[in-house]
């Protein structure tokens, strides 16, 4: 068997594996959708005094909506350009959703921070009304918005650091992630508690998926040299 044939087979297996990784990712999303339809009354309303000091800023609906692009584009790009980084990202997204949904089931939570927008006809407020109508104020902590923003940030920066090493890409990615996360509290879609718990879950996943795996890979490489 020629080296070319082996490479083609390996590439095909890698592609099949990437497609298979989409199954648990989609199923975790279905689980979240199921909880949204069946957990209608939260047992725990989350609120902090800091939430009361954070103003409602309709303009932040822009980074909130940009989140969908920020999460999707890197994932699709990595699917075709960097199988290794895509696998990490897919695992991060799937485990993040699974952890969040498990917490939602054990501790059904929500928030009552949304302002009354019935008399507000601004364009940004109109977009927020649409978001409110489609995304219930339940199943909030930890915030999926935060976890997925962190996943996108790690995916972009790790790919860039291993390939291009363009500083402004990392900076732009960080700014985008921060704005996406802040948008959740400024449009009153999430409490500060939701954000903090989302960041905690994200840091745990980062350590397991990126730090531990990288350390093992280094140890294996170092052992082979010896």
Residue 11 predicted with pLDDT over 80: no
Contact 70, 151 (CB under 8 A): no
Range of the domain at 116: 3-225
Number of C-beta neighbours around residue 205 at 10 A? 22
- Rg, Å, the chain Cα set: 20
Locate 85 and state its tokens: 């980084």
Q: Is the pLDDT of residue 177 over 90?
A: yes
Average confidence (pLDDT) over 161-166: 86
Give residue for tokens 């960041």.
199
Q: What is the mean pLDDT of residues 174-188?
A: 97
> Residue 109: phi, psi to the nearest 5?
-125, 165
Longest CA pairwise span in the chain (Å): 72
Residue 12: pLDDT band with limits 50, 70, 90: low
pLDDT digits (tens, 9 = 90+) for 32-74: 999 988 877 889 999 999 999 999 999 999 999 999 999 999 9
Is the Cβ–Cβ distance between 141 and 110 less than 8 Å? no
Burial of 32 by CB count in 10 Å (0-12 exposed, 13-18 middle, 19+ buried)?
Answer: middle
Whether the per-residue pLDDT at 75 is higher than 90: the answer is yes
What are 167's two structure tokens? 């500083």
Percent of the chain with pLDDT over 70: 88
pLDDT digits (tens, 9 = 90+) for 133-148: 888 899 999 999 999 9
What pLDDT does residue 118 have? 84
The residue among 104, 117, 115, 126 whose CA lies nearest residue 37 is: 104
| Maximum average pLDDT range among 106-115, 123-132, 160-169, 175-184 | 175-184
Instruction: Say whether pLDDT at 190 is over 60.
Output: yes
Whether 212 shows a pLDDT value over 80: the answer reads no
* Number of C-beta neighbours around residue 11 at 10 A: 11
Instruction: Quote the strand ranges of 42-118, DSSP E.
Output: 44-45, 109-110
Residue corresponding to tokens 């890979």: 217
**Count of domains forming the chain:** 1
Mean pLDDT over 179-192 rounds to 97
Q: Assess whether pLDDT exceeds 90 at residue 184.
A: yes
Q: 51 CB contacts (<8 Å, ≥6 apart)?
A: 113, 185, 191, 192
Residues 196-209 have a mean pLDDT of: 96
CB atoms within 10 A of CB 130: 12
Q: What is the mean pLDDT of residues 69-93?
A: 94
CA dist 101 and 144 (Å) reads: 9
> Does residue 80 have a pLDDT over 70?
yes
């Amino acid at each position: 068997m020629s080296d070319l044939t082996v490479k083609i087979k390996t590439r095909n297996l890698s592609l099949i594996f990437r497609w298979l990784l989409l199954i648990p990712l989609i199923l975790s999303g279905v689980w979240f959708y199921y909880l949204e339809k069946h957990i209608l009354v939260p047992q725990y309303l989350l609120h902090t005094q800091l939430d009361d000091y954070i103003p409602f800023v309709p303009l932040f609906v822009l980074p909130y909506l940009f989140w969908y692009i920020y999460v999707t584009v890197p994932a699709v790009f990595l699917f075709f350009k960097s199988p290794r980084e895509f696998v990490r990202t897919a695992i991060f997204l799937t485990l993040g959703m699974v952890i969040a949904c498990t917490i939602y089931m054990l501790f059904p939570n929500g928030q009552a921070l949304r302002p009354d927008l019935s008399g507000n006809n601004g364009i940004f407020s109109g977009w927020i009304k649409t978001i409110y109508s489609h995304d219930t104020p339940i199943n909030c902590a930890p915030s999926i918005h935060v976890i997925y923003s962190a996943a996108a940030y790690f995916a972009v920066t790790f790919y860039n650091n291993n390939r291009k090493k363009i500083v402004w890409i990392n900076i732009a990615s960080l700014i985008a992630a921060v704005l996406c996360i802040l948008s959740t509290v400024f449009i009153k879609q999430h409490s500060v508690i939701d954000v903090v718990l989302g960041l905690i879950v994200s840091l745990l996943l980062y350590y397991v998926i990126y730090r531990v795996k990288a350390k093992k890979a280094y140890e294996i490489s170092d052992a082979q040299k010896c």
